[in-house]
A and B are shown apart, each in its own frame.
Chain A
Amino acid sequence: MSLKEIIPQKLKEKFQNTEFEISVYRDELTIKFDQKNILKVCEFLKLEPELEFLLCEDITAVDWAKRKNRFTVVYHLFSLKNNFRLRLKADAAESESSTGEIKWSIDSVTSIWQAANWQEREAYDMYGIYFNNHPDLRRMYMPEEFEYYPLRKDFPLMGIPGSLSLPNK
């Protein structure tokens, strides 16, 4: 049995109350599940002796614009032991504040992989997804005083005039 079958099977045994959407595309395994379980699932994938996903290669996000759960956070993991890549997906939780502003958030996995620190900062900078319990959630690329999230679908390509400062001539 290959890892493509072993991993879903192990996850289903361990987390019996959780739904896992499993898909294989171009020989790559993708698992989608509820964001509440992100910490537990990641910890399991890292610590399970047979799997050992020690390397968190990338964390990014997808903006679905008009969908109800607007943002999906994507994790790319790699197992050095098995030479196997795994993709995890989870929709960020939506919550509306009393002023009507919608905030998207998901638990940070920095406690599991230190490498997630900058990856999550990048996703926060570009999409405005808040990572709960992140040790240092600051902007990564854009200036700190910048007020927008440039990779969102509703952000204009040429930016918002006056939002980025230039030196005096």
Chain B
Amino acid sequence: MGLESQLKEHGFFTTTVDAVVAWSRKNSVWPMPMGISCCAIEMMAAGDPRYDIARFGSEVMRFTPRQCDLMIVAGTVTYKMSHVVRKIYDQMPDPKWVIAMGACTSSGGMYRSYSVVQGIDQFLPVDVYLAGCPPRPDNLLHALIMIQEKIGKTKAADFKNIRRPELNIIQNN
């Protein structure tokens, strides 16, 4: 006769704080829609009633990075734009995750050219690379589910030594 079996009759169960925090965090991922080019159209389609990203708790697309914990980089990132993307990423509160949506963000895609960054992992830590040109909305949902799985495994201690953006980066730019 443990604690669990006694409390069960009254509608209680035991768990850890880490598990509750991770569970609530993963089911309410607020995305920052970094829509730069055509992938953004599919990202918007993921929010419509047909695909409905709200089913996964991510319908709150915030247009300010300060209220987001997932950045969906949807589109071709040029060298000139890379500084803007990084600046927005730095303004997001920790912990945060990144989806590289589509071929361009993952590897430069068909833009094998002097002006396009050949993969945003050159300046951002990417959690999920999403294939497609552009990926279908259900593909984006799949990436979101993978992010949720990743968040579900986290513990509070994982974020102890997280890298903070250096203040001078924001001031100088």
Q: In the complex, what residue of chain B is closest to A150 when comparing beta carbons? A: B114
B80 to A168, Cβ gap below 8 A? no
Q: In the complex, what residue of chain A is closest to B79 when comparing beta carbons? A: A164
Chain B nearest Cβ from A160, distance in angstroms: 8
A155 to B114, Cβ gap below 8 A? yes
Does A165 count as interface, using CB distance less than 8 angstroms? Answer: yes
A126 to B80, CA, bound (A): 15
Interface string of A125-169 (1 = CB under 8 A from B): 000000000000000011100000010000111111000111111
Interface string of A17-48 (1 = CB under 8 A from B): 00000000000000000000000000000000
Q: Which residues of B have CB within 8 Å of A142?
A: 80, 115
Q: Which residues of B have CB within 8 Å of A143?
A: 79-80
Interface centre among A156, A160, A166, A167 (most CB of B within 10 A): A167
Q: Which residues of A have CB within 8 Å of B82?
A: 166-167
Asked whether A158 and B114 contact (CB < 8 A) given A166-B123, A169-B124, A169-B125, the answer is yes
A157 to B79, Cβ gap below 8 A? no
A142 to B125, CA, bound (A): 25
CB-contacts of B91-115 with A (<8 A): 112-115
A168 to B169, Cβ gap below 8 A? yes
28 contacts between A and B (CB under 8 A): A141-B115, A142-B80, A142-B115, A143-B80, A150-B115, A155-B114, A157-B112, A157-B113, A158-B112, A158-B113, A159-B113, A159-B114, A160-B114, A164-B115, A165-B79, A166-B79, A166-B117, A166-B122, A167-B82, A167-B83, A167-B86, A167-B87, A167-B123, A167-B169, A168-B123, A168-B169, A169-B122, A169-B124
